[in-house]
Amino acid sequence: MDLSIGGIWAAMGIPAKVVLLVMILMLVWCVYVAIERALYFLTARGQSRALAGAIGGPLSKHDLDGANSMVKSDAYKKAYLAAILGAALGEYSRRPDKHGIASAKRMLDTVSTEEGAGLRKGMNILATTGSTAPFVGLVGTIFGIITAFGMMAEAGGGDLTQISGGIAEALVSTAVGIIVAIVAIWFYNYFNAVIDDVMKDVAVASAELVDYLEKDVLRRSEEQVAK
């Protein structure tokens, strides 16, 4: 029997071929998700970090309108911090007092949760593929074993050369299933680590904004007393 890739494919039964194609599609799907997520994080993190550095300018001058305009600008339209900080600043701008701070905190929690869900887009695909690919490969392995036993029955014996096609079919299915699972789990763990870092950045930025708003309320109170 020809044990090259083409030879093994030709010797495979239809069920095993279907299983193999399914695993290849799972792999392609995972790679697509990984590329899409990598490009997204590259842009979103870059814009968010740029915004975190730039927004300090108008805030240091107590220019809430300028800060609101900045988070809404096209330069930061893909920044997750723009949505989070923008929602909080909008609430505080409408009522710059302790009640406005409480409302801003609620918006920080709400929008952070929404943005976190957006960051995890596609992660369920990687997780599902990583956990199920070996079992999909096992299905192909079972078909390969069935093929091997069928060859044994036709040959009336267990000569290895006669059942090699079925054995190769089974081993290929197992190997592909494991490879797909490893790739998916690697991607899943990597992007989970990236998301954890992003959420830490969000938590720090949110805490700094709340601290700024509390100081701003105190400044306004002192100015009113001075008048």
DSSP string, 95-107: S-SHHHHHHHHHH
Rounded to the nearest integer, the mean pLDDT of the chain is 85
Q: What's the one-letter identity of residue 59?
A: L
- Inter-CA distances, 50 with 18, 43, 187, Å: 48, 11, 26
What was the pLDDT predicted at 20? 86
Give pTM, 2 decimals: 0.83
Choice among 53-62, 135-144, 159-168, 211-220 with the minimum mean pLDDT: 159-168
**Res. 140: pLDDT tops 90:** no
CA distances from residue 222 to 17, 60, 62, 88, 156 in whole angstroms, order as listed: 76, 17, 14, 23, 98
Q: Is the dihedral of CA 83, 89, 94, 97 positive or negative?
A: positive
